[in-house]
Amino acid sequence: MSAPTPATTTSAATAADRDWWRQAVVYQVYPRSFADSDGSGLGDLPGLTARVDHLADLGVDALWLSPFYPSPMADGGYDVSDYRDVHPQLGTLTDFDALVAAAHGRGLKVIVDIVPNHTSDEHPWFVEALASPPGSPARDRYIFRDGIGTDGPGHDGTHPPSDWVAHFGGPAWTQVPDGQWYCHLFAPQQPDLDWRHPEVRADFLTTLRFWADRGVDGYRVDVAHALAKDLSEPLRSKPDLEDDLPVDGSDPLYDRDDVHQIYREWREVFNTYDPPRTAVAEAVSHPARRALYARPSELGQAFNFDLLKADFDAAQFAEVITFCLREAAKTGSSSTWVLSNHDVVRHPTRYGLPADVDTRAWLMSEGADPVADEARGLRRARAATALMLALPGSSYLYQGEELGLPEVADLPTELLQDPTWENSGHTEKGRDGCRVPLPWTAEGPSLGFGSGPGWLPQPAGFAALSAQAQTGAAGSTLELYRSALRLRRQLQGEETFTWVSSDGPVLHFERPGGWHCVTNFGSDPAPLPEGQLVLSSAVGPVVDQLPGETTVWFTRPRPA
Ligand code: NOJ
């Protein structure tokens, strides 16, 4: 590929056009649970297009669409069988174009999810690989190996080639009828690609261009840290998942140095567009290596899940914020912030549980014991969100959090679709509880999601949380998000940030222009700093004191 044209010298786009992502609020759409236009029970692209006004009125800057591509849905679409089309149940390419036009027409950018670590087992490449004999070129796009015997390689081949484990449970290898094994770090229906293969690399560049040419503004890169594996023989041992990865890039599977060459090639493609396309890495790494993915010569931005993993605790929040801002600044990127997404228990529910509860175990417990304190969880969630939205950098919101939706912890197990449930041998329920179709109206077969039942049942409590029920309702979570996002646009300036106080249960920071954010993490009221109060996460009025578990924004503080 020819050298990229630096966008800075030939770009007609303004700096604001090029840097839109730096302090954007990005709304994650999980398409099959957002809005169903045809009564199929699955959300779809026309359903989303019909609801673009909700997102524009909410005040977000961009939509990130989780996969909507053709897929057997073994992992909710993260098993892609064609990277350059739309799942027939979710719409057509024409529907996609209409969605982009509607979003752009309302000033919203569009980000699509790219899933490069693995394809679906129904992808034509894998179908061809299975139909081809061991050692054939068609198998080289994936990671096929002979098995080993109980006493090592070259024996009866009845054991997987290595001890690698899959994220959804079980070994990361599945045997095919001719005796070989293929690697899958996720479900068996998600075979891992071999990124040393030139055709694999070239094909993803084609996919990136395909969507950019259709108008998408950026990409979210799935499992961005796993593409470059050490496949030298003998395969190295790695009997655990990727927690506590080394700082020197020496893990055999995750966050290896070679992965960055891939993203430098991608950046060349991004920079052929004006404005350049943006990207955000979903990369798990040693914290000190996260910034590498966010280099301007690579993806430009990287997720961190540090706030999402923190308890509702002032000291933990303060440490995360200080650390993430410093790490993002290392490469000139901006930090990301996330409290909920399609892979985790929703944050109002997490914050309603005692801090030491392991949410995976909690989901499996009889009657979800202990019972989450929903009122407290929502109060804390509103406070945490208001704090997050005052931070410099980009905030990623997950659909339904603007309604304060809780996790649906009691879905009947026979309805669970997350591969985690089956692959863990029914020891983990997985992530369906945060993927229940959205309630749009207070009535109707699926509360306005569609004309019939949705693919997962909504609990009775969703009616009162519907967008319709909350619109215009004083103190509702939806109106809090709308107010916060509107104010954020008005107040947002330079990306600078100063702690006023980061000790004790009350965190207080200042942004340029006299924008102050104060969060009381404690249960007891705290003194209310002076200034003009412009936002409060409390449901009721804030008068003399800052209530517990509450965030306020104020401007123009009077001199002390
Ligand atoms: C991360 C995605 O967020 C998750 O939903 C998916 O199951 C895995 N990657 C595998 O693609």
The reported pLDDT for the residue numbered 5 is: 40
pLDDT of residue 366: 81
Q: For ligand 1, atom 10, which residue shows the shortest CA distance?
A: 78
pLDDT at 328 over 70: yes
For the chain, what percent of residues have pLDDT higher than 90? 92
Strands 550-555 and 506-511: unpaired
Q: How do strand 515-520 and strand 498-501 relate by DSSP bridges?
A: unpaired
8 A C-beta contact, residue 483 and residue 347: no
With CA atoms as reference, report the closest residue to 285 among 310, 303, 307: 303
pLDDT per position as a tens digit, 418-434: 999 999 999 999 999 99
Sign of the CA dihedral 139, 144, 149, 154? positive
Q: How confident is the model at residue 367 (pLDDT cuts 50, 70, 90)?
A: confident
Angstrom distance (rounded) from CA 54 to CA 106? 11
CA–CA dist 10, 370 (Å, integer): 59
Place of tokens 């179709």: 437
Predicted local confidence at residue 149, as pLDDT: 74
Query: Number of C-alpha atoms within 13 angstroms, CB side, residue 156?
Result: 5
pLDDT band at 86; cut points 50, 70, 90 = very high
Q: Which of 75, 79, 344, 398 to mutate to test the pocket of ligand 1 (most atoms within 8 A of CB)?
A: 75
The answer to whether the Cα torsion of 39, 40, 43, 48 is positive or negative is negative
Q: Report which ligand 1 atom has the smallest distance to the Cα of 223.
A: 9
List of residues 6+ apart from 408 with CB closer than 8 A: 432, 433, 434, 436, 456, 458, 459
Q: How many CA atoms lie within 13 A of 463 on its CB side?
A: 6
Distance, CA 306 to ligand 1 centroid (Å)?
A: 18
Q: Indicate which residue of 113, 192, 222, 432 is catalytic.
A: 222
What is the predicted pLDDT for the residue at 155? 59
Supply the mean pLDDT for the chain. Answer: 95
279 with 336: CB under 8 angstroms?
no
Say whether 327 is catalytic: no
Helix, strand, or coil (residue 546): strand
- Residue with the smallest CA separation from ligand 1 atom 6 is 78
Helix (H) or strand (E) holding 321: helix 314-329
* Amino acid making up residue 118: H
Average pLDDT of the residues in 13-20: 91
Average pLDDT on 93-119 reads 98
From ligand 1's centre to the CA of 558, what distance in Å?
A: 48
pLDDT confidence of residue 556: 76
Q: What is the spatial distance between Cα 384 and Cα 517, in angstroms, rounded to a whole number?
A: 11
pLDDT reported for residue 152: 57
CA of 418 to the centre of ligand 1 (A): 11
Give the Å distance between the CA of 32 and the centre of ligand 1: 15
Answer whether residue 378 shows pLDDT above 70: yes
Query: Which tokens sit at 325?
Result: 């801002």
Under DSSP, the state recorded for 165 is B
Please write the tens of the pLDDT for every residue from 545-556. Answer: 999 999 999 997
Please report which helix (H) or strand (E) contains residue 337, including its range: strand 336-338
Q: For residue 490, how far is its CA from the centre of ligand 1 (angstroms)?
A: 35
Q: Respond yes or no: is residue 319 known to be catalytic.
A: no
Decide: 32 and 43 in contact? Cβ < 8 Å.
Answer: yes
Neighbours of 425 (CB within 10 A): 9
Residue 12 pLDDT: 83
Residue 115 to residue 81: CA distance in whole angstroms:
11
Q: Dihedral of the CA atoms 480, 482, 486, 489 (nearest 10)? A: 90
Q: What is the mean pLDDT of residues 248-253?
A: 96
> Atom 11 (ligand 1): residue with closest C-alpha?
78
By residue count, the chain amounts to 560
In the predicted model, is pLDDT for residue 3 greater than 80?
Answer: no
pLDDT score of 158: 82
* The pair of three-digit structure tokens given for residue 384, joined into one six-digit string: 């945490």
What is the C-alpha separation between 62 and 56, in angstroms, rounded? 9
Q: Which of 2, 76, 34, 121 is nearest to 437 (CA)?
A: 34
- Give the residues surrounding ligand 1 with Cβ less than 6 Å away: 75, 78, 115, 186, 222-223, 282, 342-343
For residue 221, pLDDT beyond 60: yes
What average pLDDT does this structure show over 167-195? Answer: 96
Q: Is 479 left (phi over 0), alpha (psi -120 to 50) or beta?
A: alpha
Report residue 557's pLDDT band, with 50, 70 and 90 as the boundaries.
low
When pLDDT is averaged across residues 158-184 and rounded to a whole number, the result is 95
pLDDT in tens, 483-529: 999 999 999 999 999 999 999 999 999 999 999 999 999 999 999 99
d(CA 75, CA 141): 21
**What SS3 string covers 431-446?**
CHHHCCCCCCCCCCCC
Give CA separation, 522 vs 76, 386, 513, 543, 548, in Å: 38, 16, 28, 18, 5
| pLDDT over 80 at 92, yes or no | yes
Task: Tell me the C-alpha distance between 470 and 541, whole Å.
Answer: 18
The greatest distance separating any two alpha carbons of the chain, rounded to the nearest whole angstrom, comes to 80
In this structure, the strands spanning 278-281 and 218-221 are: parallel
**List 75, 79, 95, 282, catalytic entry:** 282
